[in-house]
Amino acid sequence: MTRRKFCTLAEIVKRFGGELIGRGGIRICQVGALESAQAGEIAFLSQPRFLPQLAETRASAVIVGPETRDATHLPRIVSENPAAYFAKVSAFFNPPMAVKGGIHRSAIVDKTARIPASASVGPCAVLGKNVRLGARAVIGAGCYVGDDAAIGEDTRLHANVTIYHACHIGARCLVHSGAVIGADGFGIVKEDGAWKKIPQIGRVLIGDDVEIGANTTIDRGAIDDTVIEDGVKLDNQIQIGHNVHIGAHTAIAACVGIAGSAKIGRHCALGGASMIYGHITIADRVNVSAGTLIMKSLPQAGTYTGVYPFSSHRRWLKNAAHLRQLDELADKVRELEHRLVTSKRKQS
């Protein structure tokens, strides 16, 4: 059983900064949500709309922003970014499992693979020719790493991740189960009424500090490489097509689809189930709302939304019927405008 780590509130502030209000000697052993935290745990308030939960929380302490510093009598830490502060405290109390170097006896590792003593290769993993692992890399049970692939130091592949040949993953990355990196892109061409496959000869290059969610797929490039820059965070079940380029520190939520050769800028955020056409460019610091379809390049930073608001089913059907007639309605409006202008000319 893992021994609990205790830390006083004052020690937390000394480690991570912030302003301490109240008893600094309170001992904290874990983080918790406002509505479910217990004694010995610290929670955080991200938005004023959660003030009712703050009033009822059983947490021993909370992390709040400057605007809610006086919203509770509990011992508290005031931070400009409570959510980010909470993430640091959570990481402190919940560090990754220590890596025990070694190769499981059931793993299949080619003799040309370079595996440092500090790296861990789990049961039934398969590592191909010339695979290179960085120090303290973890290859989980059932993973497949193809020929000439490279995995950086402190990168962790959870169970059943597939890394195709010649793909590179940087340092301190986290790849969750079921992810497939480097499968063929959807490259096909029609000839004589039949589809012919175009060989996909590029790679996937992933930078440092990238997280890739469960069952997310990143296709290899058709000719050039598919590139994921440093600090990108990918949620579960995302599809990234061949030759896509995603800029550093962009975050993409679940079920997003990005078609081939799209270029996404740095510090962007794509909401869940948004769709990005191929061969377009999205500028840095663009936010795309959930469910939005982007069909052309976005050259300027900002938030873009194309989601039709929900309503009752009956009302939605009526609105949809009107939408189908918009083109005809626009023609009628133009005709009426023309008649109005003609009438005014005659009167004058």
Residue 11 is predicted with a pLDDT of: 97
Residues 285 and 336 in one domain: no
Q: Which of 271, 272, 268, 244 is nearest to 258 (CA)?
A: 244
CATH of the domain at 262: 2.160.10.10
Residues 263 and 322 in one domain: no
Quote the CA–CA distance of 172 and 159 in Å, as a whole number. 17
| Residue after which a domain boundary falls, among 71, 93, 115 | 93
- Split at pLDDT 50, 70, 90, the class of 54 is very high
Residues 41-68 have a mean pLDDT of 95
Residues 258-285 have a mean pLDDT of 98
Q: Which of 309, 273, 310 is nearest to 292 (CA)?
A: 273
Residue 154 is predicted with a pLDDT of: 97
Q: How far is CA 26 from CA 7, 17, 31, 54, in A?
A: 8, 17, 14, 18
Is 94's pLDDT higher than 50? yes
Residues 296 and 187 in one domain: yes
Per-residue model confidence as pLDDT tens digits over 108-133: 999 999 999 999 999 999 999 999 99
Q: How many domains does the chain have?
A: 3
pTM of the model: 0.88
- Domain extent, residue 328, equals 313-347
Question: Does residue 31 fall inside a structural domain?
Answer: yes
Q: Beta partners for 181?
A: 163, 218
Residues 338 and 223 in one domain: no
Per-residue model confidence as pLDDT tens digits over 332-348: 999 999 898 888 888 87
Question: Does residue 179 fall inside a structural domain?
Answer: yes
Residues 151-172 have a mean pLDDT of 98
| Residue after which a domain boundary falls, among 60, 93, 126 | 93
Is 200's pLDDT higher than 80? yes
Question: Does residue 145 fall inside a structural domain?
Answer: yes
Per-residue model confidence as pLDDT tens digits over 226-266: 999 999 999 999 999 999 999 999 999 999 999 999 999 99
Residues 153 and 297 in one domain: yes
DSSP helix, strand, coil percent of the chain (3-state; round to 5):
20, 25, 55
Question: Does residue 155 fall inside a structural domain?
Answer: yes
- Split at pLDDT 50, 70, 90, the class of 1 is very low
Please indicate whether residue 242 is annotated as part of the active site.
yes
Residue 175 is predicted with a pLDDT of: 98
Is 2's pLDDT higher than 60? no
Helix, strand, or coil here: 183?
A: strand
Name the percent of the chain lying above pLDDT 70.
99
Average pLDDT, the chain: 95
Which residue among 158, 168, 176, 242 is the active-site one? 242
- Split at pLDDT 50, 70, 90, the class of 3 is low
Q: Give the burial class of 279: count Cβ atoms within 10 A of its Cβ; 0-12 exposed, 13-18 middle, 19 or more buried.
A: exposed
Residues 326-330 have a mean pLDDT of 89
| Residue after which a domain boundary falls, among 93, 114, 136 | 93
Residues 262 and 138 in one domain: yes
Residues 20 and 48 in one domain: yes
Backbone angles phi, psi at 38, to 5 degrees: -120, 175
Residue 310 is predicted with a pLDDT of: 85
Residue 320 is predicted with a pLDDT of: 86
Question: Does residue 1 fall inside a structural domain?
Answer: no
Residues 232 and 84 in one domain: no
